[in-house]
A and B are shown apart, each in its own frame.
Chain A
């Protein structure tokens, strides 16, 4: 297969309300940084791929129409990608496919969400006619599955708080992060309000405005770069129904199948041993141990032990979300691409204060819908 690599990344300052910029301006903040970081000129971009979560979040049908000019797609192919919360990851993978197919030499992938234009909780809680009048909100959808995880493996109740503390402290090292809480403690997390039992306030992702962009190039483009690039060693995307009889929400089949395919394509036999850092889509703290198991870093019921032992902190055996992750910044449409970009930044050695020393192989991961869409990639210093 043809090789592809991340040449550069860019992201916005993520905030709860970026009222200083329009949607176009928000995207351009990330794009302009990605072009600078990749030392790429607009004329070198062959195609643009735009990702965004449901249009109801901003109330703009098909934003790619009015954004086409501003994101530099005039006169070029433009594709819109939408796979709910995983869309940022899917956007990167579509761009990668365009390179690997030999169609283009450099592709710009950009994803955004301007949550402050509306209310995502409202948009996600609209129920069709003839449904029972039961709304639980976004966290209410996932809280029962977290309860199932805790019950299935008898997980100690404090593990969720440990993830929240780690990620928020990591976010304090990331200048772009929305939430930066260097002084957070397990005690303060556990005394924060219980929103959707068993999910506490401090264990929940924020609502953010933000965007992320990456420039992906072919082998020639990568080899002409004067800086370290992030070689895309493997990609995987899998889907399953939102709900069906016997669906395992704790360890979804699509996620496990995607991970298996990913490690095989990357030639990785022991992910825990061979991956140096992982950016995993964790919108509620408990999803860290759940996804560690789903991704095959550990066996079922073992993920929380890695977390509890502190092995997912920077300096641990597998640092997870050194950027602070979704728990610190959650511009939904961009959240997946941020995971992919942060993984690339680690192997390019451009992660600044949250750089994991010697990171040579990194995972970027995203999921979306009712644990329905999974997308992931492995990037490395070497092809």
Chain B
């Protein structure tokens, strides 16, 4: 499965000026009380703890202080071909920043090599405006930076245009989920149109889906067939749309205590007006067409009322 979101970064006064500088192909560092110039800039002085206000421009060219070779670039990294990961001290800076060096081959990388910034063609005031670094000896003309260490002080922000307020940083995470033994049994049963639980050997409760007992911490034992009918213990009517939602509101999400189980499962109640759903209502699973079944709980589309009399409150009061 993939989890992805376009996160934002509120940059504040220091990083906002740094990003604005990058947009104009200028690199700004933070001068702290001890006279050092930090690139990328720090927002707060590590010695005095005061907010940093003194931004100075450094060169877009610098020296590789240390490096490693990345033969298999990963998604989201600056380059999609093998590159050097390097700690680069820009001329005029006292600290190093890590960035990619597009050296072409590992044999072209060495400590002490001179590199210069390669700027993105379309710059928006984003960390990616600084695309990567390249060996300074390459034939492309000198492009980056101005005189090293020139103090531009508080005027740097204006010189580089308005500080950037917000930067968007999309993040994508890919997961591969490995099923537990209990999950495996449960999903295989679902593929056959059956619901199973497993009984905790200590408390004797039947958990659906089966799992290591959360109360006793022991692996489940006896496999128990449970009904695809049950009782609504409690529920809510979802009227609100929200990010990531997979259904159109309004809809009812209920806790359904399946007959033979000792813990309810959450599911949808459809087939009647949301206002008519009630605690104690008897419901049954509505399975999708058998041709669509696979090893997934999605084989059950939703639950619908059975028309049986409501269950007494006492029968489910312990399972709310």
- Identify which of residues 17-62 in chain A touch chain B, using a CB-to-CB cut-off of 8 Å: 17-25, 28, 42, 56, 58-59
User: A131 is contacted by which of B11, B165, B297 (Cβ under 8 Å)?
Assistant: B297
Q: Tell me which residues across on chain B come within 8 A of A125, comparing CB atoms.
A: 242-245
Q: Which listed residue (A122, A130, A243) contacts B177, Cβ 8 A?
A: A130
Interface membership of A249, Cβ < 8 A = yes
B207 at the A interface (CB under 8 A): yes
A19: nearest residue on chain B (CB-CB)?
A: B10
CB contacts (< 8 Å) of B177 on chain A: these are: 128-130
State whether B49 touches A245 (Cβ < 8 A): no
Mark B306-320 against chain A: 1 for CB-CB distance below 8 A, else 0.
000000010001111
Q: Which residues of the partner chain A approach B244 to less than 8 Å between Cβ atoms?
A: 119, 121-122, 125-126, 135
Do B245 and A246 touch across chains, with their CB atoms under 8 A apart? no
Known contacts A134-B253, A147-B235, A244-B214: A139-B240 contact under CB 8 Å: yes
A59-B253 in contact (CB<8A): no
Indicate whether A65 reaches chain B with its CB closer than 8 angstroms: no
Query: What number of A-B contacts does a CB cutoff of 8 Å give?
Result: 180
A137, A151, A245: the one contacting B240 at CB < 8 Å is A137
Considering the chains assembled together, what is the distance between the CA atoms of A132 and B8 in angstroms? 30
A116 B8 Cβ-Cβ under 8 A: yes
Quick one: given A20-B12, A244-B263, are A117 and B7 in contact (CB under 8 Å)? Answer: yes
Which of A66-74, A224-232, A314-322, A357-365 sits within the interface? A66-74
Q: Which residues of A contact B3 (CB under 8 A)?
A: 56, 126
Contact (Cβ within 8 A) B245 A137: yes
Q: Number of B residues contacting the other chain (C-beta, 8 Å)? A: 69
| A193 & B239 in contact (Cβ 8 Å cutoff) | yes
B300 part of interface (Cβ distance < 8 Å):
yes
Minimum distance in angstroms from B203 CB to a CB of chain A: 7
Chain B residues touching A, majority SS: mixed
Q: Hey, what's the 0/1 contact readout for B241-257 against A, CB within 8 Å counting as 1? A: 01111110000011100
One digit per residue, 1 when the CB lies within 8 angstroms of any chain A CB and 0 when it does not, for chain B 1-38 equals 10101011111111100000000000000000000000
Cα-based distance from A321 to B189 in the complex (angstroms): 50
Within 8 Å of chain A (Cβ to Cβ): is B77?
Answer: no
Known: A28-B44, A69-B44, A118-B7. A134 touches B267 (CB 8 A): yes
Q: Which residues of A contact B268 (CB under 8 A)?
A: 134
Q: Do residues B320 and A249 form an inter-chain contact, with CB atoms below 8 A? A: yes
- The verdict on A129 contacting B279 (CB below 8 Å), with A145-B320, A196-B240 known, is no
- Chain B residues lying within 8 Å of A129, measured Cβ to Cβ, are 1, 175, 177
- Is the C-beta of B187 less than 8 angstroms from some C-beta in chain A? yes
Q: Is the CB of B242 within 8 A of A245?
A: no
Contact B15 A22, beta carbon cutoff 8 Å: yes
Is B43's beta carbon under 8 Å from chain A?
Answer: yes
Q: Are B42 and A69 in contact (CB under 8 A)?
A: yes
Kindly state whether residue A311 has any CB partner on chain B within 8 Å: no
Question: Cα distance A116–B166 when bound, in Å?
Answer: 11
Q: Which A residues touch B10, using CB under 8 A?
A: 17-23, 114, 116-117
B166 touches A197 (CB 8 A): no
Q: Which of B7, B42, B214 contacts A58 (CB 8 A)?
A: B7
Nearest Cβ distance between residue A246 and chain B, in whole angstroms?
A: 6
Contact A195 B320 (CB under 8 A): no
A379 interface hit (Cβ, 8 Å): no
Contact present for B44 and A245 (CB under 8 Å): no
In the assembled complex, which residues on chain B have CB atoms less than 8 Å from the CB atom of A42? 49
Q: Are B5 and A119 in contact (CB under 8 A)?
A: yes
Say yes or no for B46: interface residue by CB 8 A criterion: yes
Residues in B neighbouring A249, C-beta threshold 8 A: 320
A132–B49 contact, CB under 8 A?
A: no
Q: Does B192 contact A (CB under 8 A)?
A: no
Which of B9, B187, B263, B313 is within 8 Å of A130, CB to CB? B187
Question: Are A117's CB and B8's CB within 8 A?
Answer: yes
Give min CB distance, A327 to chain B, whole Å: 17
Is B237 positioned at the interface, with any CB of A under 8 Å from its CB?
Answer: yes
Q: What residues of B have a CB within 8 angstroms of the CB of A264 in the complex?
A: none
Q: Does B296 contact A (CB under 8 A)?
A: yes
Interface contact B236-A140, CB-CB below 8 Å:
yes
Q: Which of these, A70, A72, A114, A148, contacts B234 with CB under 8 Å?
A: A148
Q: Note all chain A residues with C-beta closer than 8 A to B265.
A: 132
The residue that B12 contacts in the complex, of A24, A132, A145, with Cβ under 8 A, is A24
Most A CB atoms within 10 A — which of B13, B166, B214, B298? B214
B182 to chain A, nearest CB (A): 11
Interfacial chain A residues near B185, Cβ < 8 Å: none
Q: Is A369 engaged at the interface, CB distance under 8 Å to the other chain?
A: no
Query: For the complex, what is the distance from the CA of A136 to the CA of B246, rounded to whole Å?
Result: 10
Tell me the smallest distance from the CB of A366 to a CB of chain B, in Å: 22
A131 to B169, CA, bound (A): 29
Minimum CB–CB distance for A39 against chain B, Å: 16
Contacts of A140 in B (CB 8 A): 236, 238, 253
**What 1/0 flags go to B278-320 for Cβ under 8 Å of A?**
0100000000000000011110100000000000010001111
Q: Does A282 contact B (CB under 8 A)?
A: no
List residues of chain A with CB within 8 A of the CB of B8.
116-118
Q: Mark B204-232, 1 if CB is under 8 A from A, else 0.
A: 01110000011100000000000000000
Contact B215 A245, beta carbon cutoff 8 Å: yes
Pick the most buried of A22, A42, A193: most chain B CB atoms within 10 A of its CB.
Answer: A22
Once the chains bind, are B7 and A59 in contact (CB under 8 Å)?
yes
Please indicate the chain A residues that have their CB under 8 angstroms from the CB of B169 in the complex: 59
Contacts A136-B253, A144-B255, A245-B215: A59 and B5 contacting too (C-beta < 8 A)?
yes
Contact A151 B46 (CB under 8 A): no
Residue in B5, B239, B240 whose CB lies within 8 Å of A122: B5
Q: A144-B254, A147-B236 are in contact. List 12 more A-B contacts (CB 8 A).
A: A22-B9, A22-B15, A28-B51, A42-B49, A121-B243, A126-B3, A130-B177, A132-B267, A134-B267, A140-B253, A144-B253, A194-B237
A-B contact list, 5 entries, CB within 8 Å: A74-B46, A139-B240, A151-B313, A197-B239, A250-B320
Q: Report, nearest first, the 10 A-B pairs whose CB atoms are least far apart.
A: A143-B236, A197-B237, A22-B12, A241-B214, A122-B243, A59-B7, A245-B205, A144-B234, A148-B320, A244-B214
